[in-house]
RNA sequence: GCGGGUAUGGUGGAAUUGGUAUACACGCUAGACUUAGGAUCUAGUAUCUUUACAGAUAUGGGGGUUCAAGUCCCUUUACCCGCACCA
């Protein structure tokens, strides 16, 4: 009887065994070296796991099993980032509470993950929407609220220290990470009301309140995320979106800019990743130049520029929407009375990307020419550097140029380079020099920079300055499904709640109110009883002892910024992590995740870690020692075209390239695509929740409605995900694991394509049959030959090196090559096959565990030691030299390893074949690189 | 727009890090075997010239450095990713 490779039976059996014996959660020995490997934790969406997710998990598992076999204490934990928008939107559509949806989704994810056979430490599982977790997120927020950043000690410190200092000396001796410019003494401070004091303190707190703009969509009655918007219209419904200012919490991450930048130096990240971080932080050296207002000489605009040598080309100044000059108090200074209505109308109707702006009616004075320069308000020119105003040189900057053309502003060229015709590129080139710039004329960029900077500082027209692009991060969302912010308001002063967790209240509807405020404004029980320290009914609010609670919730990056720490001690009720455990695990040794997190998540987590370090809650400065970004899995999206004005969908076959560009593109689920990109309209229309445009018409062609396909990131938001479940059923987890690794290098993005998975399945069957001769498991107990040992040791070496280099695809070929060789020489020896099985268990744990068992082993292969590598067995005494002529390979010739160069030269020059290829020409030069190559130049 | 990445046969990819380009698979073409399978085995498979031997040309395009370039430098094209409320 033939024993076939029955993956279902094998995988089932060992998954049960691992779970029953708790194999991956064995007790740790703290005297052993640690290795903390981590995957970026998934968001449990309703779609379930897609085939792109496991790539990182499998790679981490291979690495974890390898490290384990090398004797490390390994943890490879997993959890769920479960607060967020997709779940909330699903709740809005269905009315089912996000908590329930999250529970269902997590269950499904877990089942899918368990089927992969990954050595995850499930007992360390965490979940950011669990109250035992977000209690600590809230606790950390309070810490930030109660902190300020001391620029002298370069760390966060308690706000109490700051208040004490204010009481003693005011802010005269304080150098803080703060935008607050006014100095005051102790007396002034003491005279302030509590409200005024708090207003000042808000400029210092690391978690603070400020007005920031959001994407407001009145028709949907909600604030939208950037990715919910396309061409200034909401993707859902195609309604216009406006910028709206709201009072929100922010985190003063900008105070940490310098440390975030410096910390990168020591980290083992790829250069690209570092570059992304560096450009996100965006440190720029430049100068602040003062421009005085024409009407009020006392008011100076401080304008930062990195290119002061273009000062004579400045023809207008922009106040960005975020500018503090446009606050109610200041606006009169900057906007002419007659222009008030126009400006207001503009601000209210801003759609983010159009070239729009409005003249304020006011001018500033150019510090050198003393000419009048018009002052505009606009959101078009990007305020990358948190500036209150921007000087615009339209001749040499593309957006300013477009703006100048639109508003018919003068364009003055002030740079010249005979080699470069594109004005916009001039300031990047050292050989450009100044023209039309009075005393700067003829100087190159470097000279003119130094000259003008010196001049400006001497005359007090400005001062040298360093600017960062890194903005303070918004820390509030007008959403329901997030961590409540533990704050209540007493006489409009924010006060903290120490009794944690502050639980997310129950509500009926997850929609925001008409003003775009959070759904929590509609919660029935969302007021704070100050005396009894508990949540009470909103109707009881009396502004004395029953006070309103903060209704915004935390953003999704809150919980994900410190989750790796919780894995060290996931069930601790008394603290977020026990000091002893934290000092052992310290940081993540290997972090695997998508490149799309290279900026956002990484900056936030690094900031958060540094903040905790300032209070010695953690002992390391950086959370992630080494990061690998797995490549994106690309899917084949389906896109249909929508004309919102006419309220119709148009089949792609009726549209040409130009028409398509104008229409709104909507991703639809690839489940509804039939052959030849035809859309199954019946199924699409019958969707219960997914489709919101049921009142729109479908324009067909020949009775058919077709879509376009696009290769892009596989993502639930693009409806192009492929689910791995059917692959488990058809081929098994081991095949899937190997196949996903076989697709290519981990860090490269790849298009998902199932067609060659058969090859991997065949390989596993071949390997299985190799162990079973005539239906019986067979193993040869004889001592292996030198040749056999050579095959084994070459393999061990190659696989080890490749895993250490994070090349997870190459070992698979090595397994195949080795198997082919073993079949050829009919080697079934235990001393060869046992080590191979151990190596193979990194990739195919179920398969290998079964073979291991058949080899008579009692203990799980998870605990097996990495095979001994005998370097002597792979040493050769001959090397087969490739002989090339003018770099072109012709034939091979063997020489002894220790053969002298001149002997090789003598022999090769007199070789028959050499003479044949030389064709009677004389060689000019013979290059011999020992044990590498011979090249004969003629 | 700004920032980053990728490009090797019909397909996924390999190349000891500057040293034999296309390993290993998939697919395809023959053939064998058969308890007819989504099985297994054998042979072939970059392109062009050639019956063959052999030769020439090929790592997105163009140029350069070198005895030697897929790999280093310059330039260019195409595609993908990120840009702060998706996670």
**What are the tens digits of pLDDT across the range A664-717?**
777 888 878 776 678 888 777 766 444 545 677 888 888 888 888 777 788 777
**What are the tens digits of pLDDT across the range A336-347?**
877 777 777 776
Q: List the end-to-end C-alpha distance of chain A, in Å, as a whole number.
A: 65
As a whole number of angstroms, the distance between CA A849 and CA A98 comes to 40
Q: Mean pLDDT, to the nearest integer, of A574-600?
A: 91
Considering only CA atoms, which residue is closest to the C1' of nucleotide B40? A766
What CATH number is given for A758-865 in this structure? 1.10.730.10
As a whole number of angstroms, the distance between CA A384 and CA A386 comes to 6
Q: Is A598 left (phi over 0), alpha (psi -120 to 50) or beta?
A: alpha
A53 touches strand B (CB under 7 A): no
List strand B contacts in A 792-831 (CB < 7 A): 805, 807, 809-810, 812-813, 816-817, 820
**What are the tens digits of pLDDT across the range A379-432?**
666 555 666 788 888 877 767 777 787 788 888 888 777 665 556 656 655 667
Q: Kindly report the average pLDDT of chain A as a whole number.
A: 86
As a whole number of angstroms, the distance between CA A713 and CA A709 comes to 13
Considering only CA atoms, which residue is closest to the C1' of nucleotide B81? A596
Question: Which CATH fold would you assign to the domain A282-468?
Answer: Isoleucyl-tRNA Synthetase; domain 2 (3.90.740)
Q: E strand or H helix at A902, and its extent?
A: helix A901-909
Distance, angstroms, CA A743 to C1' B30? 29
As a whole number of angstroms, the distance between CA A533 and CA A443 comes to 69
Q: Across A331-340, A398-407, A625-634, which has the greatest mean pLDDT?
A: A625-634
Delimit the domains of chain A by residue range: 282-468, 633-713, 758-865, 876-937
Kindly state the tokens that stand for A230.
């396309």
Closest-lying nucleotide for A82 based on CA to C1': B87
Nearest to A502 by CA among A485, A480, A523, A488: A485
Full-model pTM: 0.89
As a whole number of angstroms, the distance between CA A922 and CA A937 comes to 9
List strand B contacts in A 191-210 (CB < 7 A): none
- Please say if the pLDDT value at position A260 is more than 50: yes
Closest-lying nucleotide for A801 based on CA to C1': B16
A214 touches strand B (CB under 7 A): yes
List strand B contacts in A 740-769 (CB < 7 A): 742-745, 748-750, 753, 755-756, 758-760, 762-763, 765-766
A644 touches strand B (CB under 7 A): no
Kindly state the tokens that stand for A244.
């709206």
Percent of chain A residues past pLDDT 70, beyond the cut: 93
The set of strand B positions with any atom below 7 Å of a protein CB reads 1-6, 11-15, 17, 19-21, 23-27, 38-41, 55-56, 67-69, 79-87
Report the number of secondary-structure helices (H) and strands (E) in chain A.
29, 40
List strand B contacts in A 708-727 (CB < 7 A): 710-713, 715, 717
Residues facing A390 on adjacent strands: A318
* Residues counted in chain A: 938
pLDDT number for residue A306: 82
Distance, angstroms, CA A938 to C1' B52? 30
What CATH number is given for A876-937 in this structure? 3.10.20.590
As a whole number of angstroms, the distance between CA A65 and CA A808 comes to 13
């Amino acid at each position: 009887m033939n024993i076939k490779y029955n993956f279902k039976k094998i995988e089932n059996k060992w998954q049960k065994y691992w779970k029953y014996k708790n194999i991956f959660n064995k007790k740790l020995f703290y005297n052993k070296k640690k290795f903390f490997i981590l995957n970026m934790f998934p968001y449990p969406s309703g779609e379930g796991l897609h085939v792109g997710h496991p790539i990182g998990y499998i790679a981490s598992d291979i690495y974890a099993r390898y490290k384990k076999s090398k004797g490390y204490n390994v943890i490879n934990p997993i959890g769920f980032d479960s607060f967020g928008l997709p779940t909330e939107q699903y709740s809005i559509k269905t009315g089912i509470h996000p908590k329930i949806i999250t529970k269902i989704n997590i269950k499904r994810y877990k089942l899918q993950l368990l089927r992969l056979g990954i050595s995850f430490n499930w007992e360390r599982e965490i979940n950011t929407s669990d109250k035992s977790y977000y209690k600590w997120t809230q606790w950390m927020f309070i810490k930030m609220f109660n902190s300020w950043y001391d620029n002298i000690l370069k760390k966060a410190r308690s706000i109490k220290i700051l208040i004490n200092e204010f009481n003693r000396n005011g802010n005269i001796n304080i150098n803080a990470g703060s935008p607050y410019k006014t100095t005051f003494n102790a007396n002034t401070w003491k005279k302030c009301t509590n409200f005024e004091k708090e207003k000042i303190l808000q400029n210092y707190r690391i978690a603070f309140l400020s007005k920031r703009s959001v994407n407001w969509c009145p028709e949907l009655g909600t604030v939208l995320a950037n990715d919910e918007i396309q061409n200034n219209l909401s993707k859902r419904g195609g309604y216009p979106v406006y910028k709206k200012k709201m009072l929100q919490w922010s985190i003063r991450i900008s105070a940490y800019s310098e440390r975030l930048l410096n910390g990168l130096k020591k980290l083992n990240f790829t250069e690209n990743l570092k570059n992304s971080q560096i450009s996100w932080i965006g440190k720029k050296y430049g100068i602040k130049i003062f421009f005085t207002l024409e009407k009020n000489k006392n008011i100076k605009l401080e304008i930062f520029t990195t290119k002061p040598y273009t000062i004579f080309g400045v023809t207008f100044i922009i106040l960005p929407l975020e500018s503090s000059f446009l606050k109610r108090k200041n606006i009169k200074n900057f906007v002419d009375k007659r222009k008030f209505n126009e400006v207001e109308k503009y601000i209210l109707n801003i759609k983010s990307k159009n070239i729009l702006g409005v003249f304020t009616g006011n001018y500033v004075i150019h510090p050198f020419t003393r000419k009048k320069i018009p002052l505009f308000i606009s959101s078009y020119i990007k305020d990358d550097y948190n500036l209150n105003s921007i000087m615009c040189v339209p001749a040499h900057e593309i957006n300013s140029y477009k703006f100048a053309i639109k508003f018919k502003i003068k364009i003055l060229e002030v740079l010249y380079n005979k080699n470069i015709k594109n004005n916009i590129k001039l300031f990047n080139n050292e050989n450009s020099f100044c023209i039309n710039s009075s005393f700067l004329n003829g100087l190159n960029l470097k000279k003119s920079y130094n000259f003008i900077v010196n001049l400006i500082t001497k005359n007090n027209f400005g001062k040298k300055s360093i600017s960062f692009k890194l903005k303070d991060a918004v820390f509030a969302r007008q959403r329901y499904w997030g961590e409540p912010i533990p704050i209540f308001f007493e006489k409009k002063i924010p006060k903290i709640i120490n009794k944690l967790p502050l639980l997310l209240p129950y509500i009926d509807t997850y929609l925001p109110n008409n003003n775009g405020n959070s759904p929590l404004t509609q919660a029935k029980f969302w007021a704070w009883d100050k005396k009894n320290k508990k949540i009470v009914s909103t109707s009881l609010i009396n502004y004395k002892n029953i006070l309103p609670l903060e209704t915004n919730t935390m953003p999704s990056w809150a919980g994900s910024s410190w989750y790796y720490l919780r894995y060290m001690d996931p069930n601790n009720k008394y603290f977020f992590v026990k000091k002893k455990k934290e000092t052992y695990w310290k940081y993540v040794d290997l972090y695997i995740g998508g490149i799309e997190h290279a900026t956002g998540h990484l900056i936030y987590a690094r900031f958060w870690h540094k903040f905790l370090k300032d209070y010695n809650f953690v002992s390391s400065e950086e959370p992630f020692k080494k990061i690998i970004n797995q490549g994106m899995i690309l899917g084949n999206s389906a896109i249909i075209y929508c004309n919102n004005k006419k309220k119709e969908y148009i089949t792609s076959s009726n549209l040409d390239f130009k028409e398509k560009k104008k229409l709104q593109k909507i991703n639809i689920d690839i489940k509804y695509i039939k052959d030849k990109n035809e859309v199954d309209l019946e199924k699409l229309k019958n969707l219960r929740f997914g489709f919101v445009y049921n009142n729109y018409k479908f324009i067909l062609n020949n009775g058919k409605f077709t879509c376009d396909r696009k290769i892009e990131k596989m993502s639930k938001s693009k409806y192009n995900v492929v689910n791995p479940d059917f692959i488990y059923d058809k081929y098994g987890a081991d095949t899937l694991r190997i196949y996903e690794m076989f697709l290519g290098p981990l860090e490269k993005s790849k298009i998902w394509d199932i067609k060659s998975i058969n090859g991997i399945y065949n390989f596993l069957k071949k390997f299985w049959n190799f162990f079973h001769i005539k239906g019986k498991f067979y193993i040869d107990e004889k001592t292996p030959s030198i040749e056999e040992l050579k095959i084994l040791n070459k393999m061990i070496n190659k696989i080890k090196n490749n895993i250490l280099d994070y090349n997870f695809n190459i070992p698979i070929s090595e397994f195949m090559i080795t198997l082919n060789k073993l079949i050829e020489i009919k080697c079934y020896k235990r001393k060869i096959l046992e080590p191979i099985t151990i190596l193979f268990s990194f990739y195919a744990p179920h398969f290998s565990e079964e073979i291991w068992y058949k080899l008579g082993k009692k203990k799980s292969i998870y605990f097996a030691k990495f095979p001994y590598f005998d370097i002597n067995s792979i040493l050769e005494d001959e090397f087969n030299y490739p002989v090339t002529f003018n770099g072109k390979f012709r034939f091979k010739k063997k020489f002894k390893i220790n053969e002298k160069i001149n002997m090789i030269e003598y022999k090769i020059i007199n070789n028959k074949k050499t003479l044949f290829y030389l064709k009677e020409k004389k060689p000019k030069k013979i290059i011999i690189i020992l044990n590498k190559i011979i090249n004969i130049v003629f």
